[in-house]
Amino acid sequence: MYLLKMLAGAAALTALTACEDPTVSTSNRVLEGAQDAQAAQFTSAKPELVLKAQQVITACVEELPNSREVRARFQELGLRSEGVFDRANFYSLDGRRLVAALSIDGAREAVCSVFVSEMSEGEATILAGLAAEDLDATRYRTDGVDVAAVWALERNGRAFILAALERQNLRIMRGAGVSVILDDEPLEIVEN
C-alpha cells in the first residue's frame, strides 16, 4: 500500500508544485534514428526532447538519492534551474518545453520526474518503456494506481520505480512525463 500511495504522491507532487552522459544507450540510438518505428510514435512531443528526457531518467536512476549529483547531471544535460516550488527543485530546457522536478533534500521520498511539453500519456509510456528496457526493469500491473504504467528495477543495490504519468497541467507547461522513485519498501504490485 505504501508504494501505491507513493506513486500517487509523485504524480500529485509534480502537478501541485509546478509553476553528460558519455555513453549512448540502445534506446537513445532508437530515438535518434528517425526511420525507426518507435521514434515515429512520438508525434506530439519533439523527438529531441524525448531523447533528452530519457537522459534525465537515466541520470535520476544512476544518481539518486544523491541530489547534488542529480543536479550536476542536469546541468551537464543543459537544464537550467527554475527554482524551488513547494517540495521540489525545478529545471527546464528549450523554453520550458522540458521540465524536470527533483524532490528537495530531506523529503520523505526521493523522486525525480521529467515532463515534455505536449507529450501524450501513450508517449510517456513508450518513453518509460524504452528507459526501462535500457535499465533492465520489470513491468508491473497498475490496477488502482493513478499512473499509466509502472516498472521496477534495482541499480547499485537500490530499488527504483519508473512510473509513466498521465498528462499534467503544470503552471509552466502541459504534458505527460515519467517519475523515478527511490523505493525503500518492498514491492507490493503484482508483476504482469
Q: What sign has the CA pseudo-torsion 57, 61, 65, 69?
A: negative
111-116 and 174-183 as β-strands: parallel, antiparallel, unpaired? Answer: antiparallel
Q: What's the rounded Cα separation, in Å, for the pair 65 and 48?
A: 27
- pLDDT tens, position by position, 12-57: 333 323 332 223 333 444 444 433 445 556 666 788 898 999 999 9
Q: What is the mean pLDDT of residues 98-113?
A: 90
Q: What is the pLDDT of residue 60?
A: 96
Q: What are the φ and ψ backbone dihedral angles of 48, each rounded to 5 degrees?
A: -70, -30
57, 72, 118, 148, 154 from 136: Cα distances, Å? 13, 24, 27, 19, 9
Q: What is the mean pLDDT of residues 69-94?
A: 94
Q: Which of 91, 104, 13, 81 has the alpha carbon at shortest distance from 52? A: 91
The mean pLDDT of the chain is 77
Tell whether the model's pLDDT for residue 179 goes beyond 80: yes
- pLDDT tens, position by position, 124-141: 999 999 999 999 999 988
